[in-house]
């Protein structure tokens, strides 16, 4: 099962993934936790260009995210899915649609096609949207990277974009109120996964 975690900055994705992985492992599942950008050495190199480099043209930015994604799919995610592992991935294709499409203004329909090319047409079985007011998320981040430092209007477009994407395809998404305590978020996410694993 391929599960991704999306949301505005500081929504608590990494915190949730860590505790979900340990709960799922204790239930006997073989779990892989991973992230975009930045899985493996190739992903790490792209991550530092994307998050810690100078300003980038929007098209260079999108090609870097897609280069990371295609490598990640072929080398890490697909092999794990072939072994029936539960893959928990911190951000994936929907972040490109929302950050580079809704927020940066690139053509969303073109980005959907580019995503499918990068993933070999594989899409997540379940997408968690950790939703919260952007000011709350940003206030949780201590060291802001290049994208965290975008103006508040950019982050608002990101939040609105995720909510709109969820409306397009509600059965694939599960929205969680990310202002709740971590334990409540974990319980809700675990319940949803168990329901879908049946």
Please provide the size of the chain in residues. 198
The SS3 call for residue 81 is helix
Considering beta carbons, is residue 36 or 131 the nearer one to ligand T5A? Answer: 36
Residue 49 in the binding site for ligand T5A (CB under 6 A): no
3-state secondary structure of 179: coil
The binder of ligand T5A chosen from 4, 10, 157, 193 (CB under 6 A): 10
Nearest Cα to Cα of residue 97 among 169, 33, 44, 38: 169
Q: Which region, judged by CB under 6 A, interacts with ligand T5A, from 52-60, 95-103, 162-170, 186-194?
A: 95-103
Contact predicate 119/125, CB 8 Å: no
Among 126, 185, 186, 193, binds ligand T5A (CB under 6 A): 185
Relative orientation angle of helices 13-26 and 182-197, to the nearest 10 degrees: 50
Give, as one character, the DSSP assignment of residue 177: E
15 lies in the site for ligand T5A, by CB under 6 A: yes
Quote the least distance from Cβ 84 to ligand T5A, whole Å.
25
Q: Applying CB under 6 A, which residues contact ligand T5A?
A: 9-15, 36-37, 51, 65, 90-91, 95-96, 99-100, 140-141, 145, 147, 181-182, 185
């Amino acid at each position: 099962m391929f599960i991704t975690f999306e949301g505005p900055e500081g929504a608590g994705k990494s915190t949730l993934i860590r505790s979900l992985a340990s709960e799922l492992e204790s239930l006997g599942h073989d779990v892989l936790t991973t992230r975009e950008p930045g899985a493996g050495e190739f992903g790490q190199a792209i991550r530092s260009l994307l998050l810690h480099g100078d300003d980038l043209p929007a098209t260079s930015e999108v090609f870097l995210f897609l280069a990371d994604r295609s490598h990640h799919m072929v080398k890490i995610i697909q092999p794990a899915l072939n072994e029936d592992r539960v893959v928990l991935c911190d951000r994936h294709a929907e972040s490109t649609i929302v950050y580079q499409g809704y927020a940066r203004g690139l053509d969303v329909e073109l980005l959907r096609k580019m995503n499918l090319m990068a993933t070999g047409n594989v899409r997540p079985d379940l997408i968690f949207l950790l939703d919260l007011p952007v000011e709350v998320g940003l206030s949780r981040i201590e060291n802001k990277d290049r994208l965290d430092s975008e103006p508040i209007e950019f982050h608002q477009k990101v939040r609105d974009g995720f909510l709109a994407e969820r409306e397009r395809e509600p059965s694939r998404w599960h929205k969680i109120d990310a202002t709740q305590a971590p334990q409540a978020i974990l319980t809700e996410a675990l319940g949803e996964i168990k329901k879908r694993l049946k």
